[in-house]
Amino acid sequence: MSDGSLAASGGVPPPAPAVPRTARPARPRSLVCPSCASPVTLRAAGSSVTAVCPSCGAVLDVANEDVRLIAAAAARTRQPLIAIGTRGTLVGTEWEVVGYQQRSAQGEQWEEYLLFNPYRGFRFLSLGDGVWTLYVMLREAVGGPGEVPGDPNRYRKVSETTARTDYVLGEFYWRVKVGDSVLLHEYVSPPYCLSEERSVDEVTWSRGVTLDDATVRKAFGLQPEAVAPPDAATRPSGLGRMWLTACAALVLLCVLAGIPFGRDRNRLVVAHTFSATSADQGAPPASEAFDVPGRGGNLTIEVTPSTPIDWLEADVALVSDDGNRRFDAPAPVRLFVGHTTLRYTFASVPGGRYKLLATIEWPVADTPHVAPPAALFHMPDLSQYGVGSEKAPEAPPPPPPKHTEIGVTVRRHTPSDALLGLAFLAILAWPVVATIGHALSRMGRGWDN
Amino acid sequence: MAPITCPSCGAELTFRTSFSVYAVCPYCGCTVVRRDRDVESIGTMADLPDEMTPLQVGTELTWGGERYTLAGRVRMAWSDGAWNEWFMVAGGEVAWLAEAQGFLTIATPVPITEARGYGPAALPGLDATISIQGKTYTVTDIKDATCVGSEGELPFAAPRGRKATYYDMLAADGGFASVEAGSEGRDLYIGSYVAFDDLGFVNLRSIERWTPPASAVEARDPVRPAAT
């Protein structure tokens, strides 16, 4: 006999409670880590599928009510630049950092923050090469970089790499795993970019827009620059000696870096000014021929526009005078707002006579297909970036000059900034790690709540 | 529509639409199926775990010029996640609002015969293109899903464990279509992705420590009705 007969049979039903069971505010879900029994907060509960325990680093399957352990703690958790749980307002919408990934492709590493707002869904904020980009996943069927519905920008391909996930923290709405790889294609039309990620069973397209470093740091309450070393007076003597030694090594490094190549160091080989109008774009102008003496060495190309412009992109190549040898920069070198010179170094060029070819593109007033940065606030799809309607549109930048002079210089035996930088990092790594370790041991595990 | 009494706790259950045949008692979780004059209990539904969604049964929205109310919800889970299908009604109109990973789609049922590109028995494969009412859709996702919970009222019985396969399709203009194939047959829905701010939501569920966007009217507090 079914329960349905209960009311009909005249039995007195229990009084109904006054409040429906669901009538209370929604809130993050709290779990207990099956590995270490610490509390885990699901900030995007309902969407999250994978979560990393902030205490022990165990990877959890949180798709269902019964939480399962996917991978036991592999390493102590690291603190990202923006801590999980931090809130910040970007282009008019408040976001909470719920996930963090370190990814790499061909030796280049970048970070990706997963942002969540319960009314607006998810966004990705990436930091690579010092550039912040805010991405939104596209839900339209995208045929290719030129076939994005409603997007008039012309994108050009800048890279095709295999991107690997190296480290994860927080929670994700997909099954994230360290070691996962996807084929990543990137296309740009500054300040916008498109990213196409292909895995075995899925293709996803995202559109990004670059954000100003100061804007992002202010939004999430970050220090404007790298944290200064702690005050010497508060440090124990062991750390103090370590910093002194490191500083001495840095001074020595700077002196040594100046010695090789004597007067040839950073010597100007050729300087050339291309006087160009918008009609010249795409035509590769060649410099006068120049000699690289002896056994050769590195050559650094610098491209400097005479007036500040929003962006500039150059394909540079060296061609030997006899046409037998050619060196191409592997990808177009790009210049964004805020930088004045674009630089590329050919690591090893044998002696001989060369010409420089440079195909240079920059924004032009009479071809409006390239949206200037301020156009972000006029795009029809601005809701995808969470732009609030209360945000006043920023004044458009002055139109770029139709006539632009672009200076190109070639220098030899330039000091390698990258190598010097690596040496700097190597020297500083240990005192920094020791200082942070010291600070953390004093704070306890204060940062994860 | 005549009020119906929950056979388990005696609370009054009202069906908003004649399309609904199934309801979950909001007070005790008793699940009932409507018969001619009364209802039959077919079990109970445990509370769904916390979700950070502003949608709830009773939320109102405007779509296609009609004022809809969310009447019920099915929560479907597949191997890599879960999503919500909200049953929305406006007078004689019904539609489904799907909520997945922060994206919203609204779709309405259309006869399966409108879909060309696969025969009556066959089901589409991944990347198959299908023409529906003159528009071309590509199958982008196929998922086997199981109902893990339901609430409110629905046009079919949705106990836990009800299974269906979903074929999601996208068109180049943002159009969206889906075929749901279950034990009761195949149903075709077409619609599109929609933006939260375009729907004029009212009576959203409040979310701790979050403020609703200006596009949504402040949620009415269901614990303290306007009378107090």
A80 and A218 fall within a common domain: yes
Please tell me which of the candidates B8, B101, B103 has its beta carbon nearest to residue A3: B8
Contact B7 A5 (CB under 8 A): yes
pLDDT over 70 (residue A285) = no
**A7 neighbourhood in chain B, CB within 8 Å:** 5-7, 10, 38
pLDDT of residue A5: 38
Domain count, chain A: 3
Please tell me which of the candidates B172, B197, B208 has its beta carbon nearest to residue A140: B172
pLDDT over 50 (residue A385) = no
Does residue A313 fall inside a structural domain? yes
Give domain limits for chain B.
Answer: 4-44, 60-198
- Please write the tens of the pLDDT for every residue from B115-159: 876 555 567 788 888 899 999 998 888 999 999 999 999 999 999
- The winner for highest mean pLDDT among A170-184, A324-338, B27-41 is A170-184
CATH of the domain at A349: 2.60.120.380
Tell me how far apart the alpha carbons of residues A78 and A57 are, in angstroms, rounded to a whole number: 9
Q: What is the DSSP letter of B223?
A: S
A residues 23-52 lying closer than 8 A (beta carbon) to B = 23-29, 42-47, 49
A350 and A326 fall within a common domain: yes
**A147 neighbourhood in chain B, CB within 8 Å:** 172
Mean pLDDT of the B102-121 span: 83
Q: A91: distance to nearest CA of chain B, Å? A: 14
Please tell me which of the candidates B11, B102, B171 has its beta carbon nearest to residue A141: B171
- Identify residue B169 by its one-letter amino acid code: M
Contact B213 A119 (CB under 8 A): yes
Contact A4 B38 (CB under 8 A): yes
Tell me how far apart the alpha carbons of residues A377 and B18 are, in angstroms, rounded to a whole number: 46
Q: Average pLDDT, whole number, for chain B?
A: 88
Mean pLDDT of the A333-362 span: 73
Given A225, A245, A280, the domain boundary residue is: A225
pLDDT band for position A384 (50/70/90)? very low
A140 contact B CB<8A? yes
Q: Are A438 and A239 in contact (CB under 8 A)?
A: yes
Place of tokens 């929003």: A310
**B209 neighbourhood in chain A, CB within 8 Å:** 27
pLDDT band for position A30 (50/70/90)? very high
Contact A20 B210 (CB under 8 A): no
Contacts of A422 (CB under 8 A, 6+ apart): none
pLDDT of residue A259: 62
A residues 81-100 lying closer than 8 A (beta carbon) to B = 93-94
Which has more confidence, A358 or B223? Answer: A358
Contacts of A237 (CB under 8 A, 6+ apart): none
- Please write the tens of the pLDDT for every residue from A191-243: 999 999 998 878 899 999 999 999 999 999 998 755 444 443 433 456 667 77
Mean pLDDT of the A122-129 span: 96
Contact B102 A116 (CB under 8 A): yes
Contact A13 B9 (CB under 8 A): yes
Contact B208 A49 (CB under 8 A): no
Please tell me which of the candidates A14, A26, A64 has its beta carbon nearest to residue B77: A64
Tell me how far apart the alpha carbons of residues A125 and B79 are, in angstroms, rounded to a whole number: 27
- Please write the tens of the pLDDT for every residue from A147-165: 888 888 899 999 999 999 9
Tell me how far apart the alpha carbons of residues A126 and A301 are, in angstroms, rounded to a whole number: 29
B125 contact A CB<8A? no
Which is nearest to A302 in space by CA: A260, A264, A261, A270? A270
Q: Which residue of B has its CA nearest to A204?
A: B140
Tell me how far apart the alpha carbons of residues B89 and B66 are, in angstroms, rounded to a whole number: 9
Q: Which residue of A has its CA nearest to B11?
A: A16
A171 and A199 fall within a common domain: yes
A99 and A186 fall within a common domain: yes
Cα within 13 Å of Cα(B82), Cβ side: 27
Q: Are A187 and A181 in contact (CB under 8 A)?
A: no
Does residue A14 fall inside a structural domain? no
A60 and A169 fall within a common domain: yes
Q: pLDDT over 70 for what percent of chain B? A: 91
What backbone torsions phi and psi does residue A72 show, to the nearest 5 degrees?
Answer: -70, 165
pLDDT of residue B183: 87
A residues 171-200 lying closer than 8 A (beta carbon) to B = 173-175
- Please write the tens of the pLDDT for every residue from A311-323: 777 777 777 777 7
Which has more confidence, B20 or A361? Answer: B20
pLDDT of residue A100: 97
Residues in chain A, total? 449
Interface test with A, best of B47, B51, B150 (most A CBs within 10 A): B51
Which has more confidence, B52 or A261? Answer: B52
**Positive or negative torsion for Cα A360, A366, A368, A373:** positive
pLDDT over 80 (residue A360) = no
Domain range spanning residue A185?
27-225
pLDDT of residue A271: 76
pLDDT of residue A130: 92
Which has more confidence, A361 or B195? Answer: B195
A380 contact B CB<8A? no
Does residue A12 fall inside a structural domain? no
Structure tokens given for A36: 């270490």
Q: Which residue of B has its CA nearest to A137?
A: B103
**A141 neighbourhood in chain B, CB within 8 Å:** 138, 140, 170-172
B residues 62-91 lying closer than 8 A (beta carbon) to A = 77, 80-82, 84
A62 and A207 fall within a common domain: yes
A216 and A132 fall within a common domain: yes
Q: pLDDT over 70 for what percent of chain A? A: 69
**A116 neighbourhood in chain B, CB within 8 Å:** 52, 102
Q: Average pLDDT, whole number, for chain A?
A: 76
Mean pLDDT of the A136-143 span: 85
pLDDT of residue B101: 93
A443 contact B CB<8A? no
Contacts of A8 (CB under 8 A, 6+ apart): B38
B190 contact A CB<8A? no
**CB contacts < 8 Å between A and B, how many?**
174
**Positive or negative torsion for Cα A219, A220, A221, A227:** negative
Interface test with A, best of B40, B48, B52 (most A CBs within 10 A): B52
Q: A376: distance to nearest CA of chain B, Å? A: 18
Please tell me which of the candidates B77, B101, B209 has its beta carbon nearest to residue A63: B77
Q: Which residue of A has its CA nearest to B58?
A: A23
B44 contact A CB<8A? no
**Positive or negative torsion for Cα B64, B67, B71, B76:** positive
Q: Which range among A184-198, A434-448, B82-96 shows the weakest confidence by mean pLDDT? A: A434-448
Cis ω before A191 (30° cut-off from 0): yes
pLDDT of residue A249: 79
Secondary structure of residue B137 in the 3-state scheme: strand
Q: pLDDT over 90 for what percent of chain A? A: 34
A36 and A114 fall within a common domain: yes
Interface test with B, best of A64, A119, A383 (most B CBs within 10 A): A119
Mean pLDDT of the B181-197 span: 91
- Please write the tens of the pLDDT for every residue from A89-122: 998 999 999 999 999 999 899 999 999 999 999 9
pLDDT band for position A336 (50/70/90)? low
Contact B49 A118 (CB under 8 A): no
A66 contact B CB<8A? no
